[in-house]
Every structure is written in C-alpha cells, then in structure tokens.
Amino acid sequence: MEKDIIKLLILENQRRVVEVTFQVRPYIIEDQINYVYVGLRRVGKSYLMFQQIRHLLDMGHSIDEILYFNFEDDRIASLSIEDLDKIKICYEELFDCKPIFFLDEIQIVDHWEKFARRIADQGYRVYITGSNAKMLSSEIATTLGGRFMIQNVYPYSFKEYLGLTGIDITDKNYLYRYRTEIMKGYETYFRYGGLPELIHIDDKRAWLSGLYQKIYFGDLISRYQVRNDFALRVLIRKLAESVKQATSFNRLANVVSASGKKISTDTVIDYLGYLKETWLTFSVENISAKLADKEANKKYYFIDNGLLNLFLVDPFTSLLENQVAIQLHRLYGNDVYFYHQGVEVDFYVLEEQLAVQVCYSMGDVETRKREVGGLLKMAKHLEIKKMMIITKDEEETILEQGVTIEVVPVWKWLLGS
C-alpha cells in the first residue's frame, strides 16, 4: 500500500472523527486501558470509538494525537501485517506526538493481534473493533497477553432507543408523560430490534434482510469457507423456530439432514460456533444439568429481535422470550441459565439469584398455574431471592405459599433494568 494513500487517509479520518455526530451510549471506558470492541455488524462499534475520541479531545488531547484507521475503506485492499507498521511510520512522518491508535475492523488483516500486542507493549494506547468474536479465542487472548479489555457491544437497549426517538428519558416522569409514545415505540422495537441505523429507515424488514445476507455470506460462508451452505441455512432457520426450547446437537443434525443435505453432529457443533463468533446467536445452559448435558442441550437465542423476526411466521411469543434473553445477556453475560428438572423456568441469573418466567399472557388459568408452579418448584432446589414473570403488557403482584412473584410488562422491565 502506497504511503501517500496512508497519509491521506490518516488526515482525512482526523477531520471526519471531529465532525461525526453520534448518540452517547452508557459504556464505561477507562482512559488508561486498551480495548477491543466486539459485536455484530452495524451494532455501532465504530461510533463507540468516536465517542471515546470525543472524550479524549474534551479531556485536552490534541486531534494530532488521534490515529483512526478504518480497514474496510474501499480505497485499501489486501493488507498485510507489514502494512500495519507502515501506517505507524506514516503517522510519525506527519506528526511529532505519540499517537493514540483507533483501529477499526482490523480483523481483516491476518495476524493483526501480533501488531496490537507489540504497540501495546511499547506503551501506546490502542482501541480496536472487529465483527468477529473469534478475537476472544484462547490463542488471541494469549497473544494479547492481558493488555486489552474486551468490551462487548450490543444493539440499543430500549431506553437508548427511546432517547433517539425524541423521548426525554432524563425526565423523572417520562413513564407517565410519554406513555403513548413509549408504547408505540416499543411495538417497533419489539418487532425490529435495536440496531442503530434501523431507527431512521422506513423499510426496516428490507434493511434487516440485507444485513442478514451480509452476515450470512460475508461473516459465515466466506470467512469460515462453509461448503454446505444449504445445511447452514436450514440450521439457522431451525434455531429461529425453536428459540424457546432446548435442543441437542444430535437433534439439530437429524433435522438438518432430514431436509435433504446430510450433516454430521461435529459439523453442527462447528456451525453453532461460527454463529456465536459472528454474534448472530448466543446460548444458555441448563443450570440443573450434568456437565455433558449442559454442553449438549442448550437454548439458542438471536442477538437482535429484528434478525430473529426474519424467520418467524407467528413471532410474538418467541420475540418476547428472545428480547428478555438479550437484556439478561447484556446485563449478566454468561451468568444466565435456564432451569429444567421436572419443571422448566426460562431464566435463572446465578449472581442475583433471580428466577424469570416469560409469558405472553397470564389470562389462561392453566398457563398461570404452570408459570407460577414452575417458579415455586424450582425454589425447592435452588436459592432464589427474587421471582418474576415478564409478560407482554400485564402487571400484578402474586402472593403464593408465602412467596412474592412480580408480574411486569416487558417494556417496563426493560426500562427499569
């Protein structure tokens, strides 16, 4: 890559990062720590970089110190690790100060982690983004040597989403003052998710479909050199259809094979790993199961409701549980489980000793009995401090067998949590 092009991009990007507008997101970034931002495509990782750049400028740093480089720029291609050194050299020819590196989508460059480790060891401050969570693999974690903090980036929470639609969430009475707008906004958020760009797009389903195609062909088929693309497509659809139920590797292999393309259990395990690494899906284990069953029988959720909704015909109950799963994953990461031992409880947060059922409506007597009974039976086997049933729009407090169970609408729970 020519040095003149690199210098042009460095200077052009300095102008761009000063002018860009963004929504401030509630992520706590320590000033003296190097970060790797990971998450789904179009989730806003670059804008978190811009947010940190603006913070540093407000703290008194000069724009000359900012070395922002976007490796997806169409004016550069086929970069090697030697080109990363060339970027550093070009900056030093332009400026006398020590740069703060912002390397956007650097995973495109093979062996990028060696360069990142070296400049971190040399005392440079470094921020990195990437769409592939394989950055978190044990090999790369070892190479980075503890020099970097991993920052997971999620789609907008419902509170962030409302803020972008013009609702003043800093108003202590906003739940009452904007109730109609909140309910209307939630219906859109429920169906189409919280990816930042989607808020101002009219044909949301078409945009989501286009994004999914980029993830499918770019982040899955091309990156992992998947040869049986039909089987992968069927697997993703099956995961979407069974988002509320635990399913095993063997069952998934059988279902996909029955569709016409035979696939082994080992290949299913590989494909599930790819889906997780690209941040399309995540999984939840059964806390009451033995170790082997924990790994082999999981519940799978999509990282955004809008992407899940592309595959569903009757989406409402699946979208509700998936949305609760996303929020719990955002708040507690891998500390979220489900419980299945005689009865099933949808979620259990170990750290908080919080048990959560998800139920679209409690109007049916048998449904009510099942949801409440599951929580009460689970409490005989695990320590539980708080029980909740999250519904679409019902609210009450249930007192049963000396236990309090809070029934709360999902939109209110999202805003409160």
Residues with pLDDT less than 50, the chain:
none
**Residue 169, exposed/middle/buried by CB under 10 A (0-12, 13-18, 19+)?**
middle
Per-residue confidence (pLDDT) for residue 223, from 0 to 100: 83
CA distance 256 to 234: 6
Contact status, residue 252 vs residue 270, Cβ threshold 8 Å: no
Tokens standing for residue 41: 């495509």
Terminal CA-CA length for the chain: 48
Per-residue confidence (pLDDT) for residue 312, from 0 to 100: 95
CA distance 206 to 304: 15
Task: Name the residue with tokens 């997971």.
Answer: 152
Per-residue confidence (pLDDT) for residue 137, from 0 to 100: 59
Q: How far is CA 95 from the centre of its chain?
A: 37
Produce one character per residue of 305-316: b if its CB has 16 or more CB atoms within 10 Å, e if not: bbbbbbbbeebe
Tokens standing for residue 281: 């899906």
Query: What is the number of helices (H) and of strands (E) in the chain?
Result: 17, 14
Tokens standing for residue 406: 């809070």
CA distance 251 to 303: 23
CA distance 312 to 40: 20
Helix (H, G, I), strand (E, B) or coil at 329: helix
CA distance 417 to 404: 19
Contact status, residue 246 vs residue 299, Cβ threshold 8 Å: yes
Consecutive H or E run containing 51: helix 45-58
Please write the tens of the pLDDT for every residue from 55-64: 999 999 999 9
In eight-state DSSP terms, residue 222 is I
User: Who's near 278: CB < 8 A, 6+ residues apart?
Assistant: 40, 131, 132, 133, 215, 219, 220, 223
Q: pTM for the complete prediction? A: 0.93
Task: Name the residue with tokens 């004016």.
Answer: 75
Which domains can be identified in the chain, with CATH numbers?
3-152 (3.40.50.300), 203-313 (1.10.10.10), 314-417 (3.40.1350)
Helix (H, G, I), strand (E, B) or coil at 162: helix
**What are the Cα distances from residue 180, in Å, to 192, 232, 324?**
19, 41, 22
Consecutive H or E run containing 179: helix 179-192
